[in-house]
Amino acid sequence: MHSHPDLTSSVIQGLGAFYLVLFLMNAIYTYFSFKKGGHSKFLERLTGQEIPAAAMWALYSAFLLMIAVAHLTSTSSPNAFLFKLPEWVKYYVDVIVADPVSFSVLSVVLFALMILLREWWVKPVVAWILLNVSVIALGLSMTDWDFRQIVGKPDNVPIVAMLFIVGFFTWLYFRRAIENDKRIDEGRDVFEKEDNEKILVWPDLVYTELMCMVILTVILVAWGILLHAPLEEPGSAVKTPNPSKAPWYFLGLQEMLVYYDPWLAGVVFPSVILVGLMAIPYIDFNKGGNGYYSFKERWFAISTFLFGFLPLWVAMIILGTFLRGPNWNMFGPFEYWDVHKLEVLYNVNLSEYFWLYSPEWTPWVGAMPVAPPDASLPQQARIIFLREAPGFIAVIVYLAVLPPLMAMTLFRTYFLRMGFLRFMVFSNLLLMMLALPIKMVLRWAFNLKYIIAIPEWFINV
Amino acid sequence: MSVGDYIRESQIWKSIFRHPAPHDRRNRVVVMLTNFFLHLHPVSVKKQGIALSYTWCMGGITFFLFLVETITGVLLMFYYRPTLEWAFNDIRSLRDVTTLGIMREIHRWGAHAMVITVWLHMYRVFLTGSYKPPREFNWVVGVLLLVLTLLLSFTGYLLPWDQLAIWAITVGSNMARATPFLGSEGPGFQLLNVGGFDLITSASDARFLLLGARDVGESTLNRFYILHCVAIPLVVAGLIAIHFWRVRKDGGISQPL
Ligand code: HEM
């Protein structure tokens, strides 16, 4: 479809440097593995022999070095170069990722696995292997022209870095939390309490701060030299770019626009997010886990927050930045951003489902009420409310009936400890947070457009 | 006497630094109390409270980035003129000809980094439960700082006045049009109506307030420039002062009881 080269010699050189860094990281890891000793249980089962873990890492590092050298010294034509992502892999990745349904399912499944398998993946070896896999996947993906176009945009580089950084800190959190959970189970002090004497700020803290500042300055200057800040054509009010995107940190909100109208996605929900964040200390009555990492003592609070931050915020930013192309259509990471890609959307309002498609066994429903063109305002209002009654009922049930039900069932203990007002705030915030995934599912499953549709007054829910 | 000693013995040096580099316990305490910048800190802290693996130093890094942005930002203000005629050209010459034009790169990457570190700081504060009593209010101050950090970045995004800038701001500010009651396409704006005249139109709604016009234009540039360079930084600086003061008053960085 397009004739851009997947590989050029400068890309190959760049990847050579990339693999060289990965080699160095693994060489250091090999060294530590060697100092620590020990052998791989997995390989022992496989071969019946005690093979030192460090030997395997040394082998792997040597392999990376060879790959790096092969890239750096390559003289063959880029077209014939061997190390690149096979087309069939790209094809399947595109199919899976370029669809909001499978993307969201994937991110929720990964989230659930992250929590369920936490004891497994916090092991340093596992985490290191996962890191290597994702770095190599990134490197291989860079051999694709379309992927480079979008990931290599200067403004998008920090987002790629953020992914790794967020991953690292999430790992660090779980590692510390699991350690403390074990200690609490055994009746020992948490890690933060042990070895916690008073120390002087000078020199301990002051030098840490100084080192942080020096390292950060170096990073910022190097980053500034290596990567130019973007500057596109001069602004022009008549040339609308397609797609037009908000700054990257707001792309989660822009993604919400697919499912909710601007008054909700752009005004009400952001305000609710902020009020909800500020309300956290006042609705979390749990005294546990204050001042140390833990999971078990506050698993509900932590899981809810992680759900809001990882799949609903970070993953939506990824989706909005890397996968939304012209006309806000979804594209796979290896797919060409074709302006003419067509996605037929035929979405239906709840009221239309109710009045127009009411099945035979509900003959009492009748025809959809329509206001005559010369109706007075109260008349019009009555007809609109009647027309949208199913939606109003659904929303009222969701926000007003569900909280008491929650209080009586699943969240009984919460209700008793929080009291009425706090529980209502808590449950409404929780339901608002779930409103996005719920609307997504409704859209995908039933092509539902609006639950309440009053375009006459700009009130669409 | 080495040159270093000569300088350290001079009257000028001694008048600036009231204390020699502290090597014993007593002097290490005194230096914290007699230095203006260091007195932000307590004299001694609990070891785990300042462990990198506990705080990730993310609050400190965010603060450092705020300072970097202030310094590079002031330097950029010497060059940049917020008018339709000059804005884009000034940025282009920062890229192409101006000595130390790299300040723009540092300023932009520092801004992205600050958004990320402020999220991570919040992440760590949540995960250590540090918002729990007695630190509830400092968390609220923190959320305000988070919003203002995003707004700082957002208002700065417009200033280069290239395609990326004006359309990102257009997309972002279109939302304001849908503000309930106060947006000209928001639910309920018809209710604000006096004698048959709508009070809320595209020339008087929330979006107009933000942009200073019906569309992103010269008055928007002016508004965003002032917000970005003066108004928001002042508020952020004030809130950071409160934030730090509260960290101390709430008993230092959180600890297991
Ligand atoms: C411009 C933004 C911000 C700056 C410069 C900043 C700076 C700091 C610093 C230097 C600390 C000392 C401990 C540490 O480094 O972790 C701190 C603590 C704290 N911050 Fe922030 N912060 C900012 C935003 C936030 C946000 C967004 C939140 C939460 C929503 C927050 C909540 C807190 C709380 C509750 C503490 C006390 C933590 C404890 O005692 O362990 N801050 N902040």
Q: For A48, which DSSP code? A: S
Place A78 in a pLDDT band, splitting at 50, 70 and 90.
Answer: confident
B141 close to ligand 1 (CB < 6 Angstrom) = no
The tens digit of pLDDT for each residue in A260-278 reads 999 999 999 999 999 999 9
Out of A199-208, A226-235, A361-370, B148-157, pick the least confident: A361-370
pLDDT at A1: 46
State the residue for tokens 């609220």. Answer: B140
pLDDT at A308: 96
The beta-carbon neighbor of A232 closest among B43, B102, B163 is B163
Nearest CA among A191, A110, A139, A157 for reference residue A17: A139
CB pairs under 8 A between A and B: 263
Amino acid letter at A246? A
pLDDT at A373: 79
Nearest ligand 1 atom to alpha carbon B236: 1
pLDDT at A75: 77
Average pLDDT, chain B: 92
The tens digit of pLDDT for each residue in A20-40 reads 999 999 999 999 999 988 887
Alpha-carbon distance A117 to A131, whole Å? 16
Per-residue pLDDT, averaged over B155-171, amounts to 94
Examine the pLDDT at A41 and tell me if it is beyond 90.
Answer: no
Cβ pair A244:B167 closer than 8 A: yes
C-alpha of residue B59 to centroid of ligand 1, in Å: 5
Place A3 in a pLDDT band, splitting at 50, 70 and 90.
Answer: low
For a ligand 1 pocket test, name from B48, B243, B257 the mutation site with the most ligand atoms within 8 angstroms of its C-beta: B243
Element (H, E) at A459: strand A459-460
| Of A49-58, A69-78, A359-368, A389-398, highest mean pLDDT | A389-398
Examine the pLDDT at B48 and tell me if it is beyond 90.
Answer: no
The per-type count for chain A, helices as H runs and strands as E runs, is: 21, 3
Task: With beta carbons less than 8 A apart as the criterion, state whether B105 and A224 touch.
Answer: yes
Examine the pLDDT at B3 and tell me if it is beyond 60.
Answer: yes
C-alpha of residue B152 to centroid of ligand 1, in Å: 18
Phi first, then psi, for residue B162 (nearest 5°) are -105, -175
For residue A134, is it left (φ>0), alpha (ψ between -120 and 50) or beta?
alpha
The tens digit of pLDDT for each residue in B5-33 reads 899 889 998 888 877 788 888 888 888 88
Task: With beta carbons less than 8 A apart as the criterion, state whether A326 and A161 touch.
Answer: no
Where are chain A's structural domains? 1-84, 85-229+292-343, 350-460
Nearest CA among A11, A104, A188, A189 for reference residue A441: A104
Examine the pLDDT at A107 and tell me if it is beyond 70.
Answer: yes
The beta-carbon neighbor of A216 closest among B64, B137, B257 is B64
Helix or strand or coil: residue A199?
strand
Amino acid letter at A354? F
pLDDT at A368: 81
C-alpha of residue A359 to centroid of ligand 1, in Å: 57
List the residue whose alpha carbon is closest to atom 24 of ligand 1: B142
State the smallest CA–CA distance between residue A267 and chain B in angstroms: 6
Alpha-carbon distance B159 to B228, whole Å? 9
The beta-carbon neighbor of B171 closest among A162, A205, A244 is A244
pLDDT at A2: 53
The beta-carbon neighbor of B61 closest among A216, A253, A263 is A216
Examine the pLDDT at A64 and tell me if it is beyond 60.
Answer: yes
For strand B197-198 and strand B193-194, is the pairing parallel, antiparallel, or unpaired? antiparallel
Nearest 10 degrees: Cα torsion A58, A64, A68, A70:
100
Burial of A132 (0-12, 13-18, 19+ CB in 10 A): middle
Alpha-carbon distance A373 to A364, whole Å? 25
Q: For A314, which DSSP code? A: I
List the residue whose alpha carbon is closest to atom 13 of ligand 1: B59
Place B200 in a pLDDT band, splitting at 50, 70 and 90.
Answer: confident
Q: Which carries the bigger pLDDT value, residue A343 or residue A18? A: A18
Residue numbers in B near A240 (CB within 8 A): 167
Residue numbers in B near A268 (CB within 8 A): 180
Q: Which carries the bigger pLDDT value, residue A412 or residue A84? A: A412
The tens digit of pLDDT for each residue in B50-101 reads 889 999 999 999 999 999 999 999 999 999 999 999 999 999 999 999 888 9
Name the architecture of domain B51-249: Up-down Bundle (1.20)
Residue numbers in A near B179 (CB within 8 A): 263, 267
B153 close to ligand 1 (CB < 6 Angstrom) = no
Examine the pLDDT at A86 and tell me if it is beyond 70.
Answer: yes
Per-residue pLDDT, averaged over A361-384, amounts to 80
B228 close to ligand 1 (CB < 6 Angstrom) = no
Residues of chain B with CATH 1.20.810.10: 51-249
For strand B193-194 and strand A459-460, is the pairing parallel, antiparallel, or unpaired? unpaired
Per-residue pLDDT, averaged over A212-232, amounts to 94
- CA angle (A25 as vertex; A24, A30 as ends), nearest 5: 95
Alpha-carbon distance B93 to B71, whole Å? 20
State the smallest CA–CA distance between residue A189 and chain B in angstroms: 9
Alpha-carbon distance B24 to B28, whole Å? 6
Residue numbers in A near B157 (CB within 8 A): 247
pLDDT at A212: 94
In the stretch 46-65 of chain B, residues with CB closer than 8 A to chain A read: 46-50, 52-54, 56-57, 60-61, 64-65
Spell out the SS3 assignment of chain B.
CCHHHHHHHCHHHHHHCCCCCCCCHHHHHHHHHHCCCHHHCCCEEEHHHHCHHHHCCHHHHHHHHHHHHHHHHHHHHCCCCCCCCCHHHHHHHHHHCCCCCHHHHHHHHHHHHHHHHHHHHHHHHHHCCCCCCCCHHHHHHHHHHHHHHHHHHHHHHHCCCEHHHHHHHHHHHHHHHHCCCCCCCCCCHHHCEECCEECCCCCCCHHHHHHCCCCCCHHHHHHHHHHHHHHHHHHHHHHHHHHHHHHHHCCCCCCCC
Of the CA atoms within 13 Å of residue B180, those in its CB half-sphere come to 10
C-alpha of residue B122 to centroid of ligand 1, in Å: 7
Residue numbers in B near A253 (CB within 8 A): 175
pLDDT at B17: 83
Cβ pair A221:B106 closer than 8 A: yes
ipTM over 0.95: no
Average pLDDT, chain A: 90
Residue numbers in B near A450 (CB within 8 A): none
B69 close to ligand 1 (CB < 6 Angstrom) = no
Examine the pLDDT at B221 and tell me if it is beyond 70.
Answer: yes
Per-residue pLDDT, averaged over B115-141, amounts to 97
Q: For A320, which DSSP code? A: I
In the stretch 166-205 of chain B, residues with CB closer than 8 A to chain A read: 166-168, 170-172, 174-180, 183, 185-190
Sequence-ordered list of residues with C-beta below 8 angstroms from that of A174, at least 6 positions apart, any chain? A114, A118, A121, A122, A295
Of the CA atoms within 13 Å of residue B222, those in its CB half-sphere come to 8
C-alpha of residue A379 to centroid of ligand 1, in Å: 54
Place B203 in a pLDDT band, splitting at 50, 70 and 90.
Answer: confident
Residue numbers in B near A198 (CB within 8 A): 44-47
Examine the pLDDT at A51 and tell me if it is beyond 90.
Answer: no
Residue of B nearest to A194 (CA): B48
Task: With beta carbons less than 8 A apart as the criterion, state whether A395 and A451 touch.
Answer: yes
Task: With beta carbons less than 8 A apart as the criterion, state whether A160 and A223 touch.
Answer: no
